[in-house]
Structure 1
Amino acid sequence: MNNNTFIIAEAGVNHNGDIGLAKKLVDVAADAGVNAVKFQTWKTELLVTKDAKMADYQVENTQQEETQYEMLKRLELSYNDFSELKLYCDTKGITFMSTPDEEQSASFLDGLQEIFKIGSGELTNTPFLRHIASFNKPVILSTGMGYLSEVEHAIMTLQDAGLALNQITVLHATTDYPTASEDVNLRAMLTIENAFPGIEVGYSDHTLGIEVPVAAVAMGAKVIEKHFTLDKTMEGPDHKASLEPSELKQMVEAIRNIEVALGTGWKVPTPTEQSNRSVVRKSIVAAKVISAGELITADMLEIKRPGNGISPTRWDEVLGSVAKKDYRIGELL
């Protein structure tokens, strides 16, 4: 990661269990100019009980009555698929990432990626956090559904297991698909940053559109994660709350524009402004004929453009001084 915002295009499970679709998602992400494309890796038998229910949003978005186990088994890609996707990402010049959902898959992914993303569901999973920390690689930690105390516990767990604070980036998130604007609470990202001095923060977005992640960058997010899909009308739990290819590209362009606009923070004139100063600003000008040796009073002066004479900031200094030369009406002092 560098000084620019690290943008993760979250493919997630929007491949619908088809590696061909997964590769098309990689193509879209690479074309959009993101830093990384991210999937999710799990073995269903290790992740969920066979009778676990789906989340309400999953039922609503899929319009199917099935268990989590059945849905996840249908969406599962094999380890060989992920190895193939990693190689495909390499050919496209984009960073491959995948979020592991259990320890076996985490160990597998350790051979494929240099950055680990921990999903919000694992924020309170102490053994899992320790396992991820054992790889000694940078970690991006999502905090959806979490209290600040739980975020603190997760950070301390990662640190106690060997990670340095500068290896951890914490993402504010709201685990709802899609997230309503009133539930975003972007200021919570700043709360996290202030609570843990030295840590980098970012935002994992599940709103519709691109405004909120762009705003997060303006507020200081170092990492942005956003779901995307080939087509929002496809069947699956996350497509409806994802960006389509053109929208993903627009988000990346907007974020990069915001990064440039944020600038250095130094309040100084730009080079363009320097040339405009004499045109737009004003100078102290003779309002009447002034003879050398006269005591200058306010009624002898006015303030007009251009600004390449004595600045009006020196008004009090000029008043009461003695004219050193003759001035005609309208001449800059």
Structure 2
Amino acid sequence: MARAVRFHRIGGPEVLRIDPVEVRQPGPEEVSIRVKALGLNRAEALLRTDRYIESPQLPSGLGLEATGVIEAVGSQVRGFAAGDAVSVLPPTSMREQPTHAEQLVVPQSRLVKNPPGQSWADAAATWMQYLTAYGALVQVAGLREGDFVVITAASSSVGLAAIQIARRVGAVPIAVTRRSAKRDALLQAGADQVIASEEEDLRSRLLEITGAAGARVVFDPVGGPIFEALTAAMAEGGILIEYGGLSPEATPFPLFEVLSRSLVLRGYRVYEVLEDAERLQAAKAFIIDGLADGSLRPVIARAFAFDDIVEAYRYLESSQQFGKVVVTL
């Protein structure tokens, strides 16, 4: 038996429980992992409130990320052995393969070895954010040197990963955050410019920064009314990549802006990368190289104990954090 985070009803963080669950032996191409740390994501809160791309089947587990030590391997596992420090890549179904537990059994295809010396907290804060940002910015948008890229929710773990990736390829990251309290931290994190959307006119500031060139790429998990300001400052043929839906307000379709500048509005999920072996291999190589040369550096907002999982999610959903919220075991 092992302990796992589950919820038996839809609701806020208070519905989360730590339940004992049975742990099976690994199959021929699977490994058993003793978990050392977890990374938290907004997607898990969406599943818990039944607003995710899949609905939970109660009682439901949750979780997209984990890192730990391999305890046992199946008979056909190659390249991994007991004692290896590994991270679990996000599953295609959080409902069917949740990660928030003391022990996991996962296919070897969903594993990546941790870089030598990487801390458990950093490992838990690596793969979801960098895979999401790399797949969207580099593989979908083709972000390149000199491009202006607008990054909303910039103080989130994915937002900070996007800033770092933009800098690594020579692009110019413009961070958008709600209030100016995080301005200095975002500049120190690599943002070229910071806009506080609740204190400044977003459209005017974007046009002031990008000038006639406009922003070729916009990377947004929010949606809602902000679309109008974002598209008004985009370059001819620019692409807006939407990877969330955090705004409770309706998202307008900016028809005139799309028509007048031939804009592309593109929905995106990290599973586009995870389900394509060639794209996943390229993403892994980029991320591992970036971790090695220091251009990619996970930012940890705060670490919580496993028994404090409710408080960890309350903190995540308060939007106070700067970077990744992790849970250690």
Structure 1 and Structure 2 fold alike (TM over 0.5)? no
Question: In terms of Rg, which structure is larger?
Answer: 1
Q: TM (normalized to structure 1)?
A: 0.29
Q: Which has the higher helix share?
A: 1
Higher relative CO (CA 8 A, sep ≥ 6), structure 1 or 2?
A: 2
